[in-house]
Amino acid sequence: MAENLLPVIIAARRTAIAVRGGRLSQVGAEHLAGPIVRRCVADAEQATGQRAEVADVILGNCMGPGGNIGRISALAAGLHATVPGMGLDRQCGSGLSAIITAGEAIGAGDHRMRIAGGVESASTAPVRLAEGSPYARAPFAPAGFPDPEMGSAAEALAGKFDISRVAQDDYASRSHRRALIAQQRGIFDDEIVSVEGVLHDDGPRQTTTRLLSRFMPLFAEPDNGTEGTVTAGNSCRICDGAAAVAMISGSSRRDAPGLALRASVTIGCDPALPGIGPVDAVRSILRKADVSMSKIAAVEIVEAFSAQTLAVLRSLDLADDHRVDPRVCADGGALALGHPWGASGAISVVRLFSRLVRQDAPAGTLGLATAAIGGGMGVAAIFEVVR
């Protein structure tokens, strides 16, 4: 694809991330996403110096109210009634997949702007019923296939890759430390839009790093001699939040700096080990983009669990028993900030935008975003700084 036809992100924003039942618990999904959509449009208009013609609003969402969250959020944002919208569910990869979907439409020749991202209001998610009884989630696989809960799947990866409790706690501590430093330095300030006056993430905490060793394993099986290593401390918290980007064709960006979508891959894996999905996705996308990992300047992975994240990073030679590559989640990740499922993949892209575009990385610098997906999938995208 010619460079000027590559889809380019020229604006990227998110809400603060609040724990379920916390400061954003009274805000429905469309009212989390609406201000972000509106701000992305305004940022894009400022960057290009021209009025935006929004072709679509594409938002990922996992457990929300239904009713096409993209369209509802577009209306809540105050966009013209002619602007359509679309909801997308690829579980924890939803936000990133929505951005990829927007980029594919632009790459196919429709150069109008798209707003894409994700939103999750875990606090206001409706209760779902199956055969008259409430259930926590829909199946990720049909009967006869493995369909583990995500925590149990993370514990399985810890066993398969011999990832100790200490290593998991150390990684969680790293995420909190880095997020606290970023928060104190105001690194998140330019990406957060106020919703209900909330401007700071709940998650990063000094106390968490001191208390990690005290958390009890969640999936121990004493009858089978299994002590367990996955705890609430080295797992992400369920949260409320939204994130989105404004994406246009490179031919219409008018020298606005941004992130061009170079390549994307979504791929399936063994549903018994869903957290390992990013490994093949990343390997595939590096081949597709014809770049080596050494050329990637920034990596953002959705940190659902320390065990799951370390299994991926070790498989990609981005971590071992003694170190984690500093390119990975340099300002902390979902273990510290929280995991609003449908939004988290988009939050990763917002983070790349801040790390690379807002912090003046030179043109040509590459960033990678990736996430594991329930049911056994991985999604990855490579972005390139343009100026």
How sure is the predictor about 226, in pLDDT bands with cuts at 50, 70 and 90?
low
Rounded to whole angstroms, what are the CA distances from 20 to 24, 125, 317?
8, 10, 34
pLDDT for 209 equals 77
Tens of pLDDT, residues 246-285:
999 988 888 899 999 999 999 999 999 999 999 999 999 9
For residue 7 the two structure tokens come to: 């889809």
- By percentage, how much of the chain surpasses pLDDT 70? 97
Lowest mean pLDDT among 62-76, 125-139, 246-260, 301-315: 125-139
Question: Mean of the pLDDT values across residues 175-194?
Answer: 97
- 282 touches 296 (CB < 8 A): no
| b/e sequence 46-60, b meaning 16+ C-beta within 10 Å | ebbeeebebbbbbbb
d(CA 120, CA 113): 23
How sure is the predictor about 65, in pLDDT bands with cuts at 50, 70 and 90?
confident
* Placement of tokens 């990684």 in the chain: 171
Spans of all domains in the chain:
3-126+236-386
d(CA 277, CA 150): 13
How sure is the predictor about 206, in pLDDT bands with cuts at 50, 70 and 90?
confident
Rounded to whole angstroms, what are the CA distances from 23 to 60, 101, 158, 300?
22, 31, 33, 26
Instruction: Tell me the range of 85-89, 130-134, 147-151, 225-229 where mean pLDDT is highest.
Output: 85-89
d(CA 159, CA 229): 9
> Which amino acid is present at 312?
V
Question: Mean of the pLDDT values across residues 91-102?
Answer: 97
Tens of pLDDT, residues 304-339:
999 999 999 999 999 998 899 999 999 999 999 999
Fold entry, domain 3-126+236-386: Peroxisomal Thiolase; Chain A, domain 1 (3.40.47)
Residue 119 neighbours by CB under 8 Å, 6+ apart:
29, 30, 32, 33, 36, 59, 60, 61, 64, 69, 73, 241, 242, 243, 340, 342, 343
pLDDT for 135 equals 86
Element (H, E) at 15: none
d(CA 302, CA 239): 13
Question: Mean of the pLDDT values across residues 181-195?
Answer: 97
**pLDDT greater at residue 133 or residue 263:** 263
Query: What's the mean per-residue pLDDT of the chain?
Result: 94
For residue 2, pLDDT over 80 is answered with no
pLDDT for 225 equals 57
For residue 224, pLDDT over 70 is answered with no
pLDDT for 223 equals 55
Question: Mean of the pLDDT values across residues 281-309?
Answer: 98
Residues serving a catalytic function are: 92, 339
For residue 91, pLDDT over 70 is answered with yes
For residue 5, pLDDT over 60 is answered with yes
pLDDT for 1 equals 47
